[in-house]
Structure 1
Amino acid sequence: MTGRVASVNVGIVTEAAWAGAASGRSGIDKRPADAPVLLRFDGVAGDFIGERAHHGGPDQAVYAYAGEDAAWWEADLGRTIRPGGFGENLTTYAVDVTGAVIGEQWAVGEALLQVTMPRTPCRTFAGFWGVPDLIKRFTARATPGAYLRVLREGAVGAGDPIEIVHRPAHGVTLGEVFRALSLEPSLLPGLLAADELPEPIREKVRRRVGEPAG
């Protein structure tokens, strides 16, 4: 299966009352880059992250959101949402992001990426959009976008193909993880089949299903 990168987006520094409580600064406002951007093991070159306690790091090095899901939000809200409007580094086209399997690997430009976990909406997101009930609405829609680990560093630009080169057999999808953690706790036990889930999430799942820590 092959999709493509519609846009590579890099965050600028935004200071606002709704920005991170610790710093008052956020990098959620991401803008399309004019040239290919280096995706590194620890994040996207030139990208600003305001609260590293909750964002960034190897398991959240890159954030991807599907252009098709963005179009749904445009229709629902009656407003234009430009690439990067979800705080995403990669705006994708023709990729089933919500249906991606945890641990799935994407060859994108020069880089190799791995799907790790869904995005959890926060008050910074709601403040940036100016939609007070956005967290509730975003959760109900359950198209959270994918955090990605960088397995091979490389430059990625708009128009580059996205090829799924490996898909784990366990079949646990990004959407299932999001729904299990926020909407459908009955799905929680099945998440442990995905060894590629970041350990903090696996520990959270074990606590919630009553299993001993691994």
Structure 2
Amino acid sequence: MRLLSVNTGRPRRLGHTDRARRLTGIGKRPAEGPVAVTAPGPQGSGGSGLAGDAVCDRRFHGGEHQAVYAYAREDLDRWEAELGGTLPNGVFGENLTTAGVDVNGALIGERWRVGPDLVLEVSGTRIPCRTFAGHLGGAGLLPTADGRGWIKTFMRAAVPGAYFRVVRPGSIRAGDAVTVEHRPDHEVTVSFLFRALTLEPRLLPRILAAGDALHPESRETALRRATAG
């Protein structure tokens, strides 16, 4: 299990909606050499955990519970076959493109050591947004430039990739080993959490088994569902 690439992005404008031509950091490219990873500030104030990586919409991205985002090369390859185009590392906005790692089968609260020092803890799942769809559509990777239909397609596949918080900072680079150091005793994988938060809300009460390792917003959503019965 290893990193194929460590990806960072700079702000750029994306004109896929009438809201804006907003700045986004979703378009990431593999970095050359080592990249420092530290724990950012809370959501809304801190960016990504990777040095040199832009987070432009800090209300919904970045912060301590979404410091690092990983996606498996194997899943990118499956999307390539479905979409009929080339998907380079970083194109889904992931900071880490992995090989040989079951990213979506990782458990919430699972801990990875990446390289010699960095320790990450699985905290959540990506929820697709219009920026994601517009980014891929604008790059000519989807049938329409605005990415219409992509969000539903992505949801049905349930291979969302994982968010992490930083437990111990470190420096990483392409080729570094990924080692699973701890797997908690519950059923809440990244894919299970994604299904609960998107197309299968009946699963929401069951994600509470992940305890405090859950992203606080996911936990609040599940508690509201459990209270409502």
Same fold (TM over 0.5): yes
RMSD of the TM alignment (CA)?
1.6
Deviation at 1:20, TM superposition (A): 10
1:210 aligned to 2:217? no
- Per-residue CA deviations over 1:179-205 (Å, capped at 9, x if unaligned) read 011122221111111111022211111
> 2:186 aligns to what SS in structure 1?
coil
CA distance in 1, matches of 2:101, 2:228: 34
CA offsets, 1:109-168, max 9 Å, x none? Answer: 120000000000000000001132111110011100000111010001000000000011
State the match for 1:115 in structure 2: 122
Greater Cα shift, 178-187 or 90-99: 178-187
Task: Report the Cα distance in structure 2 between the residues aligned to 1:112 and 1:16, rounded to whole angstroms.
Answer: 33
Aligned partner of 1:83 among 85, 89, 92: 89
Residues 3 and 178, structure 2, Cα contact 8 Å, conserved in 1 = yes
| Counterparts of 1:85 and 1:100, CA distance in 2 | 21
Determine the C-alpha separation between the residues in 1 that align with 2:69 and 2:55: 12
Alignment of 1:97-108 (within 5 A): 97-108=103-114
Q: Which runs of 5+ in 1 are unaligned?
A: none
Per-residue CA deviations over 1:63-89 (Å, capped at 9, x if unaligned) read 000000000000000000000000000
Farther-moved stretch of structure 1 (199-208 vs 26-35): 199-208
Residue aligning to 1:197? 214
Which SS does the other structure have where 2:210 is aligned? coil
Aligned to 1:63: 69
TM-score, with normalisation over the residues of structure 1?
0.94
Gaps in structure 2 of 5+ consecutive residues: 41-48, 138-146
Taking a change above 3 Å as real, the CA distance of residues 21 and 157 of structure 1, as seen in their structure-2 partners, is: farther
1:92 aligns with 2:105: no
Three-state SS of the structure 2 residue aligned to 1:44 is coil
Aligned residues: 210
Q: Does 2:58 correspond to 1:52?
A: yes
* 1:41 maps onto 2:31 in alignment: no
Instruction: Work out whether residues 205 and 225 of structure 2, in 8 Å CA contact, stay in contact via their aligned partners in 1.
Output: no
Alpha-carbon shift at residue 22 of structure 1 (Å)? 7.2
* Stretches of 4+ aligned residues off by more than 4 angstroms: 19-23
Relative to structure 1, the CA distance from residue 22 to residue 113 in structure 2 (aligned partners, 3 Å threshold; closer, same or farther) is farther
Distance 1:21 1:35, change over 3 A: farther
| More moved, 88-97 vs 130-139 | 130-139
Corresponding residue to 2:198 among 182, 199, 202: 182
Contact 1:172–1:194 under 8 Å retained in 2 = yes
